[in-house]
Structure 1
Amino acid sequence: MSEPSSQDVIDALQPQDRCSTHSPIHLKVGSVIVEIRSNSEPVLAELRQYFLHAVIPGEEPTLTVHVLDGLDLPFDVAWSDWAREPGKTGRKDAVSDLPDARLVRKIRTGMAFLQSTDWKIAFGPCKAYPNQVINFVNTQILNHFQQLGWVGCHAAAVSRGERTLAIAGLSGGGKSTTMLKLMELDGTHYVTNDRLLVRSNTPHSDALGIPKLPRINPGTILHNPRLRGMLSAARQRELEALSDEELWTLEEKNDLMVGELFGPGRIRHAASLTHFWVLNWSREATEPTNVREVKIEDRPDLLAAIMKSPGPFYQRPNGSFWQDDSPLEPEAYLEALKGVEVQEVSGQIDFDALFRYGEKILGARA
């Protein structure tokens, strides 16, 4: 066939008919209500459990996501690899731009997605890869707010009262470990682990996390007494036998259920952003851990650690899609971060020392 359109994809997948027999899920994050429909009750049950803290009774949705387990397209699509960000290797995503939509395929799993103004559909082995469905749902939340002018940051965040501390840094730089240690403080709330939306406001910027639970590596688990139970005793012994270098670089993601480990009511996605740390410390450093305020407009290196590409699913309000070589706009981030105290964390990697700085910022004691 000639180049397909989004309607050809819809006709092949028939999302409305296939999802009509199961009750949908409704999530609320900030001002957006997401409806999730699926042809699979087991998939819906898993998504309902994962998003439990954000689930609400049925309301008129802002947008709808269809999840079609076990389906694929009956025609061929011309795919192009999506270039990965600097420092990332291997093939991850492929895209096919249609006249009025974009198809995205995950290379490793075969999961595929249709992104358009009117349709957001995940299809393929959804039951086998629920985390990719979860990511797609969260992407729609990110897209909605970015289309309204919010900027997406690569950051974790924790909130207490009127103060919120966001934490950015290079991948594997310790932002999740830092955030989870600060969750030990009385009265703190989990905001987000890896994606934070920010927009300018007075006197402090608005911040909004997404309902994506932390996916953490063994090093984070091993060094937090509350989390060690996530690993078997045998696995703990195996990890304890590794060198610091091996443990630091080990990529082995585990989902952390915040409500189960910290108790109910410890998640709050909407907050007022007062402080922003950028982790620029090093395991090779000899000087003590230090936290000092910086003018982010004078530190493009630190701003680069905060900024995050919207990725292949992002569709601008005018309908055009983000490309893998589309430039980010530092000015938009600088505007969004006005009124936020940005601090650079340098020196040795010392989570206990950094925790004490966090206590002062959040005004709490463990």
Structure 2
Amino acid sequence: MSAESTPEPGIPGESGTKGPRHRAKGPRKTRDGRRRGLLITAWVAAGILVLGGTGAGYVYFKLNGNIKSVDIDSALGTDRPTKVDNGSENILVLGSDSRSGTNKKLGGGTDDGSARSDTAMIVHVYKGHKKATVVSIPRDTLIDRPECTDAKGATHDAASGVMFNSAYSTGGASCAVKTVESITGLRMDHYLEVDFSGFEKLIDELGGVSVTTTKDINDSESHLNLKAGTHKLDGEQALGLVRTRHGVGDGSDLGRIQLQQAFIKALVNQVKHIGVFTNPKKLFDLADTATKAVTTDSDLGSVNSLMSFANGLKSISSSKMQMVTMPVQYDPANPNRVIVEKAKAQQVWTALKNDQVVPKAATKGTATGEAKGVVTAG
């Protein structure tokens, strides 16, 4: 079933909450905040999967068997942006919710086996792999989706004025990559998808993540209640934090993106300070959970490949990560949607293509969601 044919939260066809058509600060949405695909970014896998290489035999084959991969290169063929050979890499990282099994319990909804992706980030790793820029793409962005072929060889027609997250629900990983490449003009060198159901357990096995909140967060929909102050979030609380959109800011997806970006920095700090090398059982449990939680492109579809990839990222600290949201403005015709601010967005894509830092001018004056600074690393 295509995303356009079923009116559900987070997919095209949804009418959205009615409200003013021109709203400077954006929507305070009332639709269900559940079923949010969760993004841990490449560093979650990187910080843990690299540890899996210390084992051999059973450990290697067990972890290798956990990893799911998609042959995106074959699905997309040659009609793609040219790979820039300057030492940099672009990785599309998605958070997914399979809508079945454990994901159904965590995310709500029917056990229909369909898939959603409500969170997407382009991770640009600069030459030398000492720093990175992470560009979040709001799932509510109205875009023109190109024709694409999914991993099973089925072709999906192009569509205009649809939500960005329809690409994944329509044609899976390969259509998501095709759409991102169409929007940005950038070649995605790798694909990494983090499963919704693995997130909570992963955070618990990490021992929690410390964050500081500058305001109270109270959201009954994501079941998160935090007083202003420093907290060590367990898996359930971390899940609530990256899902919440009603407890802080203007209630939009853009505000949630700001919380996610702050949480990612806190998580990167946490991973770098975990003493798993002295605890073989913890090391294996973390690697087992991480490999079960990810789907990769075929080039990363083995423990050895992931280890090599992770080694290339492990030196990037949170202080060397630039967090950016794709420049957008609220849609004047529908305050529950956003539209790309093309001139400013092009500044972002040009900077990344040239392996440069995104200029501040690219995001100045764009819609933000008003949640910046609410969460920082603890």
Q: TM-score, normalised by structure 2?
A: 0.25
Structure number with larger C-alpha Rg = 1
Higher helix share: 2
